[in-house]
Structure 1
Amino acid sequence: MTPSPFFSEELQQFRASVRRFVETEVRPHAAAWEADGLVPRAVLRRMGELGFLGVRYPEEYGGSHLDTLATVVLAEELGRSGFGGFAVTVLVHTDMASPHLARFGTAEQRARYMPGVVSGETITAVAVTEPGAGSDVAGLKTRAERRGNGWVLTGSKMFITNGVHGDLYFVAARTDPAAKGSRGISMFIVEAGTPGFAVGRALDKMGWRSSDTAELVFDGCHLPADALLGQENRGFYQVMENFQNERIVLGAMAMGEAARAIELTLAYVKDRPAFGGVLWDKQAIRQRLAARAAEVEAARQLVYHAAWLDAHGHDCVKEVSMVKAHCGELVNRVMYDCQQFHGGFGYIRDSEIERMARDARIQAIGGGATEVMLEEVAKRM
């Protein structure tokens, strides 16, 4: 692990701890999780015990109270596991869903749920995306209507990570039907098992196989008044605020994946016999791998820079959008070349590079498609 000016000795030690966990407790078992379609709860609770699920949260809830750079360390090392489904299961919980509660929840809501979030007893999901509204959050149609001393939630959500086996869902719904676009959206806390809330179906995906992904259905789902999360009709802005963190995390995860793919491929081409030598002897292969390694290192520094800006309170929407667009595309280019250099073995189902190539494809789509991210950059040029 090369020293970096962005990371303190504490964060370097944290990186070593996460990497050790991945090597000893994830890689030997994660292929079975892929087959089962979920990460076992015992593994998530173990991560809670080790302090990996509360990196950014206050000590009063069992967290470490660190900053965005710690999040990047966690995401990058989980990405290096080579199992994107495992990595995103954890990162949705730690950095995409539960921050809604930590940032916008009342003291009572945080006291009730945050200790379980940090310990791994309560796994979270965020439900914003719908069949007709993905990156276009303002287009969502799920609605919440006041009814007596509470709310009734009606609609559906799609592509929800941790959707099948989650415990706590943060759901975006339209609370002012007269408002247009981004206005009139609110966030709600919905517990698993709430009457009127059901998993419509588990989704069978191309990649991220160990991450459970679901369609959620809300059919007259009755919620108490205190299920409102944050300010009424301000939910769109809450979602947008958290997107910054989500996109940095996905960028860091992608760079971890890319680094792992290059590491695997380098070992393969240095050992694979070809034309009287090994593949590494071929200049075209050496140079293309070197070029990809340079691109990954440059992208990693962009991720670190954006995380530093965020940790120090700077406006970094442009830089974070660059991270999401650039890293999501780069990890796919890296996987393409690495799979190519593995030859036929790279096309065999469940070889590591084949799985990683499938897992990487979503990085240019989820959390904000590349095209949407480039528009965010363009607006600020």
Structure 2
Amino acid sequence: MPALDVTERPRATGDAALLEVLDEHVKPADEAGKPAREVLEAVRASSLPGLSVPRRFGGSGASSLEVNRRIAEIAYHDPSTAIILFQHLAVCSRIAEWGTNEQRHEILPKLASGRWLAASAWSETGAGAAKKNLATQAEERADGGWSISGGKAFTTGAGLADIYLVLAQTTPVSDVDDTAYGSNGQSFFLIPAPTPGIEPDLGLDLVGMRSSATGFIELRDCEIGPDALLGPRDRASRIIAGVRQSGATLGAVSVGIAEAAWDLGFESALRKSMLGQQAIRHRLVDLRGRVESARALVERAGRREAAEPGEVTLHSKIFASQTAEEVVQAVARMLGSAGYVAANPINRMARDARAVALMGPTNELSRELVSTPWAA
């Protein structure tokens, strides 16, 4: 029986279609500095947007272990899309955990179906990695609603999200706890797009994660109702602290990058008939051990079996992101002159691997969050 020509194969649907589309568009999207329309359509049509949404709201109700595995799978093909999905799922989880009944019933089904994509707008210039000293202010109106003004930086999914989780200062206070992530007097707000007064700006030209639509969000007298407040007023730090307890970790993105880099190195060695060299084989074995170690730690975070699951989550992010950078660098050296060609995928992997270490909580902040209690 003759082989089926690739042009005759039926087009994949659902999650399989997403992986095919990512492979087709990862390079042009990276060069364009924004996600391809076809990728976003495939993301919305897949099961992934509903992964962390409880079943009663139309989602899969997946565990953090499954979330980490699926994010790693997507990151293998395109880390930028994995980051967009990770942030979307993080917002879904915050609404499922802290939202009112009205917020859950109104918003979660839209997020689960892919009709809406969510993004987090926490960071801003001058606030530091720990999200202190926010310039974004939310003023409560007489009717119980809010008026928010300020600017957010490094918002993944800016311009493509249908709803933003915005961190703002609601009460001016002086912190007594310098070790916390976030500050006293801060609150979270769910702001749909478009809402008058909120404007995305994709003018941020990133080195890594170029097609993640990461940019700025400007809020100018953005007026929202009292039902936009997520969780208790002035207690956003409680919600932030609970994020790492969930076990979902950006380390999963790094695992996907490291896996893709190792495969690239192995395929290159195979193609160049280098696997007969003991040094090359042993180097690949050592690198594979690093990848598997990172995966194991990320999966342990997802299982939440440790006495302190938050610490494991932070460790998984630090170790997996370091591993991805090391594996990528080692593979780049193995590739030789081919690695110096700008179009070689290893160079995009290197940029993306570095970006994970700088995403919140950054690796330096993660180390501080783990180690500061030891000094008490």
TM-score (norm 1): 0.86
Structure 2 Cα separation of the partners of residues 106 and 318 of structure 1: 29
Question: How does 1:149-298 map onto structure 2 within 5 Å?
Answer: 149=143, 150-180=145-175, 182-245=183-246, 248-272=248-272, 278-298=273-293
Equivalent residue letter for 2:123: T
> Which residue, out of 134, 140, 147, partners 1:146?
140
Match of 1:359 among 352, 355, 359: 352
Q: C-alpha distance in 1, partners of 2:146/2:19?
A: 46
The match for 2:106 is 112
Residues 339 and 353 in structure 1, CA contact (< 8 A), matched pair in contact too: yes
Number of residue-to-residue matches in the alignment: 355
Contact kept, 8 Å, 2:54 with 2:96, in 1: the verdict is no
Please give the per-residue CA displacement for 1:196-243, whole angstroms capped at 9, x wherever unaligned: 221244311112121101111112211212111111011122122124
**What code does the residue aligned with 2:358 have?**
I
- Name stretches of at least 5 consecutive residues in structure 1 with no aligned partner: 1-16, 273-277
Are the counterparts in 1 of residues 84 and 119 from structure 2 also a CA contact under 8 Å? no
How far 1:329 sits from its partner (Å)?
1.0
- SS of the residue corresponding to residue 195 of structure 2 reads coil
Matched, 1:58 2:51: no
Partner of residue 34, structure 1: 30
**Which secondary structure does the structure 2 equivalent of 1:249 belong to?**
coil
Q: What residue in structure 2 maps to residue 85 of structure 1?
A: 80
Q: Distance in 2 between matches of 1:138 and 1:104?
A: 22
Question: In 2 relative to 1, CA 160–220 (structure 1 residues): closer, same or farther, beyond 3 Å?
Answer: same
Q: Secondary structure at the match of 1:320?
A: helix
Q: Per the alignment, do residues 350 and 20 of structure 1 end up closer, same or farther by CA in structure 2, a change over 3 Å counting?
A: same
**Which secondary structure does the structure 1 equivalent of 2:249 belong to?**
helix
Letter in 2 for 1:307: G
User: CA 1:22–1:257 in 2, change beyond 3 Å: closer, same or farther?
Assistant: farther
Structure 2 stretches lacking a partner, 5+ long: 1-12, 177-182
Percent sequence identity over matched residues?
A: 30
Given that 1:45 and 1:120 are in contact with CA atoms closer than 8 Å, whether structure 2 keeps it comes out as no
The one-letter amino acid paired with 2:324 is: V
Moved more, 36-45 or 227-236: 36-45
Determine helix, strand or coil for the equivalent of 1:145. Answer: strand
| CA RMSD across the alignment | 2.3
1:97 aligns with 2:98: no
Structure 2 match to 1:74: 70
| Separation in structure 1 between the aligned mates of residue 159 and residue 28 of structure 2, nearest angstrom | 18
Displacement of 1:306 in angstroms is: 1.6
Return the offset for 1:173.
0.6
Question: How does the TM-score come out when normalised to structure 2?
Answer: 0.87
